Amino acid sequence: MADGRNYWILCSVVFFGLGCAAYFSLSGRLMVEQSGLAVILSLCGLWISRRWITAFFTCLLISSFCFGILVASIHVEMAPSGLLTKTLYMTEVEGDITLLEPQGGRTRITIVPIRIDGLEQQEFDWKVRMSLPGGENLTVGDRIVASARLFPLRAQSTPGDPDFSRKLYLDGIGATGFVFGHKYRVTKAADPGLFQPLSQSIEYIRHVIMQRVDTVLSWPESGIAKALIVGERGDVGAKTAEDLRKSGLAHLLAISGLHMGLLSGTVFFVLRFVFAAVPTIGLQFPIKKWAAVAAMLSGIIYLGLSGASVPTQRAFVTLIIVWLALLLDRRAISLRLVAVAAFVILMIRPDAVLGPSFQLSFAAVTVLVAFYDGPGRQWFDRTGERSWLFRVGIFFIGLIVTGILITAVTAPIIGFHFGRISMIGILSNLIAIPVMAFWVMPLIVATLVLMPFGAGALPLWLMKPGLTLLMQTAAIAAQQEWGLWYVSQFSGIFATGAMIAVAWVLIWRRNMVGWFAVIPMCIAIAGQVMYRPADMLVAGDQKSWAIFDQSKDQLILPTGISDFQQSVWMARFGISDDRKDQVIRECDAPVCSAVIADKRIVVARELVNPFYACRHADIIVNLAHDIPHDICPGKVMAIDDDQLWWQGGVAVYGLNTDTPSFETVRKTAGDWPWIIIGGRSPK
């Protein structure tokens, strides 16, 4: 164990992340005092056990875990209070715009409200996010007065569905909504100056860049360009986005290590080349360190312009450490670098650990660093004296190996969150990565450099064929049915256990301690064996529902269900778009029924005769009205309007057993301040 002390920091960061995840997996929040006490006690244990290596290491992991819980609890305590709990169907909102997100003909704005009709001013210390038509002339800092409809944060539709309300809450947003048509007035803000808030100045610059891109490029290339330059993906077409996901190229739209590394790397090598071309400078000054400083500054600028998403933050922290190590003449590429980046991100946003963006970013980077810091380094170090043709071949072989490694390590994460795994991404990235590295990203650097001088149109125009090639590559790859595997939702225990096991092996890959990865992997397998997927879902909106018949491979849905809800549930049951027509059966009748495993299910908007239904069905769902509790026999499962309103969506399990059961969102999501159901939130 003593020989592995260099890896203790890596294990500590892993358990710190587990602590953050564990906190948000609780049924309700812990107070800061409680989590702080746990940290103090664990540190006491750490001090007492300092003479025994194994005990000290164990206490170190426990302390890291408790510290993760403490950081998460602090962030929740700092979040806004008194969120909107009831819909304001017609209200007037006045506030200052802090964020603009174009969304294909509409604009989503985030404002800091100073007045909301129907609420006292002391009732809101949160921001509002609304959408409105048009909005091309809006800028950050403008004051808007709008007639709008505001909604509380919406909880999960059913247990197991994505929870978007937690991120909104921790972003400081307490209500969402939309503006009625063009019923809004805007007071233009002065151009941002030195005394304007930095965040507003950055958002203003991002908005100007998006306008410049729109004047030079046409759609859909303009949407891709804005996603790559400023991180705004609202104008990326739905079909293009779907093609990128199916082809395994969706990572191109999320500004991460690839983009940050290519951009700052381009700045580094171009400036170093320029300095070296002048002998007076190149021979007398540390031009390598000068170029590194410029690369750091370019990374800071790109971080702000791109919106500072989780992958961008991770990439920025990583690159800063790389460039600092270069300035100090130290070697920086190691798993410690990844651990420091993860720790910084989780200190800023502990809830990020539950999101696919964070998980995919760090899983991919960790496996690549572990490989190329080991056998990969030996492989590439031997190519320096070979011919350029050989080195080009090694470059593409490296891309294939990279694709295989990333696909293998991220497959459980992608399958858990999205219900599908792209295998063709290994091939499509052979085209996309060189195009990004040698064509698109250098022109993005040129655009950002020349745009302040009014000369950004030329590099944007030269960038367009490269963007078109990327979209064509994605479209062709997405058409290959064999390249996309669909999987039904599996256990969160399996996904978590598998990720911990992989992380443990990568950390202790040169030590026998790595065999302890068998423990989380066994837990993962046991969790999957015991996992029961839902057979029936009823959403809290009291309109949407789904019944999945495994024996017939058939999904029964009501007519008129939203495309988004349908896509979420199709992914949950592992149904591909190509099989949609064969698998989905729609019911447009007022009363729908199905027989699954000898159990008769009745779903109705309104039951005319609930007494009759109770005598002839095993499961009854009355979406719009209550079911009197005294008319159904005890063996009948009844789900009605009252339950859906106060308890949220429902998931039914075990239709093929004698005793089916169900869970509600209220029960599974816990008593968190962002869980608002039936006009009530936990106090």
Q: Tell me the per-residue pLDDT of 421-442, one tens digit each, with 9 for 90 and over.
A: 777 777 787 788 788 877 887 8
- What pLDDT is recorded for position 1? 45
Q: Are 664 and 551 in contact (CB under 8 A)?
A: no
Q: Are 210 and 232 in contact (CB under 8 A)?
A: yes
- 467 pLDDT more than 80: yes
Which range is most confident: 153-162, 246-255, 375-384, 438-447? 153-162
User: At how many degrees (to 10) do helices 257-276 and 310-327 cross?
Assistant: 30
- What pLDDT is recorded for position 197? 61
- 4 pLDDT more than 60: no
User: At how many degrees (to 10) do helices 425-435 and 388-418 cross?
Assistant: 120
Q: Are 226 and 215 in contact (CB under 8 A)?
A: no
Mean pLDDT of 581-588: 85
User: Half-sphere exposure of 244 toward its Cβ, with a 13 Å CA cutoff?
Assistant: 21
Q: Which residue has the tokens 């963006």?
A: 357
- What pLDDT is recorded for position 2? 41
Tens digits of per-residue pLDDT, 552-576? 888 888 888 888 888 888 888 888 7
Q: Collect all residues with Cβ–Cβ distance below 8 Å to 278 and sequence separation of at least 6.
A: none
- What pLDDT is recorded for position 601? 87
- 343 pLDDT more than 50: yes
> What Rg, from alpha-carbon coordinates, does the chain have?
27
- What pLDDT is recorded for position 194? 45
Tens digits of per-residue pLDDT, 95-107? 888 887 777 678 8
- What pLDDT is recorded for position 55? 86
- 292 pLDDT more than 70: yes
- What pLDDT is recorded for position 256? 67
- 65 pLDDT more than 90: yes
Mean pLDDT in the chain?
Answer: 81
Helix, strand, or coil here: 185?
A: strand
- What pLDDT is recorded for position 6? 64
Q: Collect all residues with Cβ–Cβ distance below 8 Å to 198 and sequence separation of at least 6.
A: none
d(CA 412, CA 407): 9
Q: Collect all residues with Cβ–Cβ distance below 8 Å to 283 and sequence separation of at least 6.
A: none
Mean pLDDT of 402-408: 76
* 176, β-bridge pairs: 129, 151
Tens digits of per-residue pLDDT, 491-540? 778 888 888 888 888 777 767 667 778 888 888 888 888 888 888 999 88
Percent of the chain with pLDDT over 70: 89
Residue type, 328: L
Which range is most confident: 52-61, 63-72, 435-444, 453-462? 63-72
Mean pLDDT of 373-389: 63
Helix residue ranges per DSSP H, 456-575: 457-478, 492-507, 518-530, 563-572
At 200, list the tokens: 């507003």
Tens digits of per-residue pLDDT, 191-234? 545 445 666 677 777 778 888 888 888 888 888 888 888 777 77
- 383 pLDDT more than 60: no
Output 450 or 70, whichever has higher pLDDT.
70
Ramachandran area for residue 643 (φ above 0: left; ψ -120 to 50: alpha; else beta)? alpha
Output 95 or 417, whichever has higher pLDDT.
95
Output 597 or 94, whichever has higher pLDDT.
94
Mean pLDDT of 532-552: 87
d(CA 50, CA 607): 68
**Which of these, 128, 99, 132, lies nearest to 116 by C-alpha position?**
128
Percent of the chain with pLDDT over 90: 6
**Which of these, 671, 222, 63, 359, lies nearest to 681 by C-alpha position?**
671
d(CA 573, CA 578): 14
| DSSP collapsed to 3 states, 434-451 | HHHHHHHHHHHHHHHHHH
Query: Which band of pLDDT confidence, cut at 50, 70 and 90, is reported for residue 481?
Result: confident
DSSP string of 52-104, one letter each residue: SHHHHHHHHHHHHHHHHHHHHHHHHHHS--S---S-EEEEEEEEEEEEEEE-S
At 504, list the tokens: 């443990």
Helix, strand, or coil here: 465?
A: helix
* Cα first-last separation, the chain: 47
d(CA 425, CA 320): 29
Residue type, 485: W
- What pLDDT is recorded for position 129? 92
Report the alpha-carbon angle 368-374-378, nearest 5. 115
Ramachandran area for residue 422 (φ above 0: left; ψ -120 to 50: alpha; else beta)? beta
Tens digits of per-residue pLDDT, 262-279? 777 788 888 888 888 888
- 337 pLDDT more than 70: yes
Query: Which band of pLDDT confidence, cut at 50, 70 and 90, is reported for residue 72?
Result: very high
The answer to which of 24-28, 200-204, 616-620, 623-627 has the lowest mean pLDDT is 200-204
d(CA 69, CA 17): 9
- What pLDDT is recorded for position 67? 93
d(CA 582, CA 554): 8
- 69 pLDDT more than 90: yes
Report the alpha-carbon angle 4-10-15, nearest 5. 115
- What pLDDT is recorded for position 66? 92
d(CA 133, CA 184): 10
Query: Which band of pLDDT confidence, cut at 50, 70 and 90, is reported for residue 3?
Result: very low
